[in-house]
Copies of this chain bind each other. A is one copy, B any other.
Amino acid sequence: MAQGLSQVAPRYLTGDKAGLREFLDKFDVFLFDCDGVLWSGDHLFPGTVETLELLRNNGKQVVFVTNNSTKSRADYRKKLEGLGIPSTVEEIFSSSYSSSIYISRILQLPENKRKVYVIGETGIEQELRSEGVPFIGGTDPAYRRDVTPEDYKKIAAGDESMLDPEVGVVLVGLDFHFNYLKVALAYHYIKRGAIFLATNIDSTLPNSGTLFPGAGSMSAPLIMMLNQEPIALGKPSQAMMDSIEGKFKFDRSRACMVGDRANTDIRFGLEGKLGGTLGVLTGVASKEDFVSGDVRPHAYLDKLSDLLASEES
């Protein structure tokens, strides 16, 4: 997948005022990965708010792109606000939202197969509801139980009390109440023809300075059982880029993806043929990764707020 991606050495822009101005002038739209770029965990990086303000004051469109599927856009806006970052729901693009858009506007589901069986939390449910997509599963407590001997028989028989015949899509996101029954049902829906979607396939989720199971870990048993990969709607899947473009109607050559991970954020921008990609060293990737890795950004900074130097006198 890394074939054909940027192999030129990235430009180091920290402290290079002229270079920063030139870089910023090339773009109208900045897509931001959030954790590791704007903040880390609950800690807002100094200068984040001022940098976003600088961009907006210069007429740039700012978009916050997150693979977090547990939150809706409204939830995520609250999170940004809690961290002190002004934003609007319209500036936020989460994998729960891109999944909902993909289901409601791109998939052409037959009339009697419009229901989505959800493995995931409330963020997905809110976004499906906002797009008018019917769903089952998700946070419904009826699915938070042990599997019973009766369940096996009913599932095997295709009993409609267990397997809703109108389900045409299985959407798998991060689910903290993941269990045997949920996986068994998802497997049988897909075997019966439902489309296998994942909000994103990040295997891990950063929390408290370490890693925990991510949304990809919820898809992993199904991938193994079915020997089939899901269509993923988060970064670096281009299905997410298509959704963002569909909404913002921007010129890709005038857009720049900003991120801290080479293999998701920077890849996402490069494969999406955006005019620019900008790496920052406040998250996962090291300078080494950006300079000599397989996936290299067009430019990189020590930290996002180094952009402020473009306007300092």
Contact = CB atoms under 8 A, between A and B. Distances in A.
A263 interface: no
A173 to B, nearest CB: 13
B147 A210 contact: no
A135 to B, nearest CB: 21
Nearest to A178: B180
Given A210-B155, A212-B152, A218-B221, A176 B147 contact: yes
Contact of A156 (B146, B177, B209, B216): B209
A223 interface: yes
Interface stretch (A16-24, A200-208, A232-240): A200-208
A217 interface: yes
Given A218-B221, A221-B217, A223-B220, A207 B176 contact: no
Nearest to A223: B220
A208 B156 contact: yes
A202 to B, nearest CB: 10
Contacts of A203: 221, 224-225
Contacts of A147: 176, 212
Contacts of A157: 208
A187 interface: yes
A213 B226 CA distance: 10
Stoichiometry, as copies per complex, reads 2
Contacts of A177: 146, 179-180
A207 B228 CA distance: 22
A70 to B, nearest CB: 12
A184 interface: yes
Contact of A213 (B217, B221, B223): B221
A1 interface: no
Return the 9 tightest CB-CB contacts between A and B, nearest first.
Answer: A217-B221, A156-B208, A220-B220, A203-B224, A156-B210, A220-B224, A152-B208, A220-B221, A203-B225
Given A156-B207, A187-B212, 4 more contacts: A152-B207, A155-B212, A156-B209, A220-B224
28 contacts: A146-B177, A147-B176, A152-B207, A153-B208, A155-B208, A155-B210, A155-B212, A156-B209, A176-B180, A177-B180, A178-B178, A178-B179, A178-B180, A179-B179, A183-B217, A184-B212, A184-B213, A187-B213, A203-B224, A203-B225, A204-B225, A213-B221, A214-B225, A217-B224, A217-B225, A218-B221, A220-B220, A221-B221
